[in-house]
Amino acid sequence: MVKKKKAAEQEFQTELYTDSGKTTIAPEVLLTIARLTTLDVPGVSRMGPVPGGVNRLFKRGYGEGVRIDIRDDDTVYADLYIILENDINIRDVSRLVQHRVARSISDMVGMQVGRVNIHIEDIDYPVESEA
């Protein structure tokens, strides 16, 4: 059974209950899983900045290139902001990232994944050296 607990700071933690006890999962765990899984996909160069103002600096659910939202039905929604390598198929890499991130969150945490939205922020092209 999965339940969300609202803490005093208006932050959400996910609690998994079993017959053996309770496991609490901090939002940073989901951010880390999504970020590391994304960076492991061939064709991804690095994570991009998450757009938003100063408000995002004081909220949980935001990390380096990742925004996670856990809805009332305990479904995870992720927005990934990535910078790709050049000479790759953007559609194929995006789909692979979506598949791997959704599977990682589902397998590691046991939560349902609603959507994994990919935002291509840039393409890394090699720097041309001056002759």
Q: Is the alpha carbon torsion for 61, 67, 68, 69 positive or negative? A: positive
DSSP codes of every residue in 88-128: S-HHHHHHHHHHHHHHHHHHHH--EEEEEEEEEEEEEPPPP
Residues 5-46 pLDDT 10s: 443 333 456 676 677 888 888 888 999 999 999 999 999 999
Residues 58-96 pLDDT 10s: 455 557 899 999 888 889 999 999 999 999 999 999 999
Domains annotated for the chain, with CATH where assigned, are: 26-124 (3.30.70.1350)
Q: What is the pTM of this model?
A: 0.79
Nearest to 122 by CA among 35, 44, 39: 44
Q: Are 74 and 2 in contact (CB under 8 A)?
A: yes
Pairing of strands 66-70, 75-85: antiparallel
Q: Are 84 and 124 in contact (CB under 8 A)?
A: yes
Nearest to 1 by CA among 12, 16, 14: 16
